[in-house]
Amino acid sequence: MVFRKPPDGGWGWVIVVVSFFTQFLCYGSPLAVGVLYLEWLDAFGEGKGKTAWVGSLANGIGLLASPVCSICVSSFGARPVAIFSGFMVAGGLMMSSFAPNIYFLYVSYGIVVGLGCGLLYTATVTITCQYFDKRRGLALGLISTGSSVGLFIYAALQRELIELYGLDGCLLIVGALSLNILACGSLMRPLESPNSPRPEKMCVDKVPDQYFVYHEKEKTIEENISILEKGYIDEKCVNNVPDCKQDIILNKNVLSSINVNEKDTYKKKVVEQTNFCKQFAKRKWQLYLTYWKETMVLFKNKVFSALFVAILLFDIGGFPPSLLMEDVARSANISEDDYFMPLISIIGIMTTVGKLILGILADFKWVNTLYLYVTTLLMTGVALFAIPFAKSYLTLAMLSGILGFLTGNWSIFPYVTTKTVGIEKLTHAYGILMFFAGLGNSLGPPIVGWFYDWTQEYNTAFYFSGLCVLLGGFLLLLAALPCWNACTNQSSKLPPNTYSYKVASN
């Protein structure tokens, strides 16, 4: 597919607006699932660890399936994938309202909604990168705030809907709101050149057609020979009866020789197609081998190895507060009358602020983005250690704001990845890291819930979470200190039609 030069404006701003609302609508409920988590605990009576799997799957499955999501967007385009994913998100939310047990929610809310969100995230980022080049960082920053604003609004919205219509009514209404994703997806017009030639079909696609043409050709030759043979023999038999039998034998020999030649040609074509399929499979196998070789090369980089451990531990320890903070307040016997706003809403609005401020800091030349990222990890670990000592709404609100701001370090994570592996390997490395981030998102809340089920209090769980984040931060710091300049100062030009994040230079 041939694309025009990114216009850095025009219809691109419409893409930014619809991508913002797409992330707002699809991620609002999964990120604010902590409000629903309390209702599911009361409705199904399961343990906190088992119930926490619903929200963790919804937020982690999209990252785990990021390679599949990328293939879908590359194969079908952003607009069809966005429209299809809108049906997935809306359908999953509506089906969840009829859930008879927690296992049904694992599929309807965890897998269906989570996979739809992953597809929509990939579609919005891809279409935005196609429309922007010089202003790509600004455009990506704007659409990424959609999920944080969705967390802020949906936390209060779902709480209000539950009070008015109950849990089932809330999920039905939220699912109906998600149908607006279809309208947003329909506006994601692909940036294709109208005069670009259509790519030719691969030889594999031509195999049935070639066989069909050959089959018709063979049939036509036989019919023509039969007609000529019949007419010639009839004429001979009328004029000269003795020569009739001789001509029949001669024509049959000619026909048989032609059929043998045609069959040999067909066999040659079959052999050629078989060899082509073997070569095609061999090339695919070589691509897989190359992929794994490049992956092993990435893990030889000390900073990258520490980075994947850090992102895994960060998501195991740093994600649970956004899901469990409301239950932490209820376990601390904090009255709902003391609530100024939901704690999850505070996390959401401060995440938006954190993304913007940390993104701006990363653009300064004197700021080392890796050290900035390590600082956010260490501060997150300290804040998690402080949660067990918070016994009032005010202190929990302050800690929620701090954790939300530090979670905004997602906006600088692509910068850190690029500085670590170089611009050429960004796509490969980022996909691997997102897989481990999804694994951390999926495991974090259930682990914290299991700690509560075992100890009947959250103190041990958040000590464990803080320890995980601090460990990841210290490992990344130790790996970066001796070899930061040697491993990360890589500069190269972008190949054509390759899109990536802008990176601040050190």
CB neighbour list of residue 386: distance below 8 Å, 6 or more residues apart: 399
pLDDT in the model for residue 343: 85
pLDDT in the model for residue 453: 85
pLDDT in the model for residue 205: 44
Give residue 492's pLDDT band: very low, low, confident or very high (50, 70, 90).
very low
pLDDT in the model for residue 494: 38
pTM listed for this prediction:
0.66
Give residue 503's pLDDT band: very low, low, confident or very high (50, 70, 90).
very low
Q: What share of the chain in percent tops pLDDT 90?
A: 23
- Is residue 269 assigned to a domain? no
Identity at 295, one-letter amino acid code? T
Task: Judge if 334 and 479 occupy the same domain.
Answer: yes
pLDDT in the model for residue 261: 57
Range among 60-64, 151-155, 362-366, 492-496 rated most confident: 151-155
Task: Judge if 183 and 306 occupy the same domain.
Answer: no
pLDDT tops 50 at residue 478: yes
Task: Judge if 309 and 188 occupy the same domain.
Answer: no
- pLDDT of 310-319, one tens digit each? 988 998 988 8
pLDDT in the model for residue 116: 92
Task: Judge if 314 and 166 occupy the same domain.
Answer: no
CB neighbour list of residue 385: distance below 8 Å, 6 or more residues apart: 462, 463, 466
Instruction: Find the CATH number of the domain harbouring 456.
Output: 1.20.1250.20
- Is residue 89 assigned to a domain? yes
Structural domain harbouring 307: 301-485
DSSP string, 324-373: HHHHHHHHTT--GGG-SS-HHHHHHHHHHHHHHHHHHHHTSTT--HHHHH
Task: Judge if 312 and 186 occupy the same domain.
Answer: no
- Boundary-marking domain end, from 192, 221, 238: 192
pLDDT in the model for residue 196: 47
pLDDT tops 60 at residue 276: yes
Among 77-86, 163-172, 290-299, 450-459, whose mean pLDDT is lowest?
290-299
Q: In terms of pLDDT, which residue wins out, 147 or 272?
A: 147
Among 239-243, 324-328, 339-343, 392-396, whose mean pLDDT is lowest?
239-243
- pLDDT of 160-200, one tens digit each? 999 999 999 999 999 999 999 999 999 998 876 544 444 44
Nearest-angstrom CA–CA distance, 3 and 497? 8
What average pLDDT does the chain have? 77
- Is residue 50 assigned to a domain? yes
- Is residue 131 assigned to a domain? yes
Among 15-29, 79-93, 118-132, whose mean pLDDT is lowest?
118-132
Among 85-89, 259-263, 375-379, whose mean pLDDT is lowest?
259-263
Q: DSSP assignment, residue 65?
A: T
DSSP string, 396-448: HHHHHHHHHHHHGGGGTHHHHHHHHH-STTHHHHHHHHHHHHHHHHHHHHHHH
- Boundary-marking domain end, from 172, 192, 212: 192
Task: Judge if 306 and 182 occupy the same domain.
Answer: no
- Is residue 493 assigned to a domain? no
Task: Judge if 52 and 179 occupy the same domain.
Answer: yes
Give residue 130's pLDDT band: very low, low, confident or very high (50, 70, 90).
confident
- Is residue 282 assigned to a domain? no
pLDDT tops 50 at residue 290: yes
- Is residue 216 assigned to a domain? no
Residue 327 exposure: Cα atoms within 13 Å on the Cβ side: 29
What mean pLDDT is predicted for residues 192-218?
Answer: 45
Among 77-81, 189-193, 233-237, 245-249, whose mean pLDDT is lowest?
233-237
Nearest-angstrom CA–CA distance, 442 and 54? 9
Give residue 383's pLDDT band: very low, low, confident or very high (50, 70, 90).
very high
Total count of domains within the chain: 2
Give residue 362's pLDDT band: very low, low, confident or very high (50, 70, 90).
confident
Place of tokens 């370090």: 409
- Is residue 450 assigned to a domain? yes
Buried/exposed 343-367: b ≥16 CB within 10 Å, e otherwise = bbbbbbbbbbebbbebbeebeeeeb
- Boundary-marking domain end, from 147, 164, 192: 192
pLDDT tops 70 at residue 299: yes
pLDDT in the model for residue 322: 78
Nearest-angstrom CA–CA distance, 391 and 306? 35
pLDDT tops 90 at residue 31: no
Nearest-angstrom CA–CA distance, 256 and 262? 10
First to last CA, the chain: 36
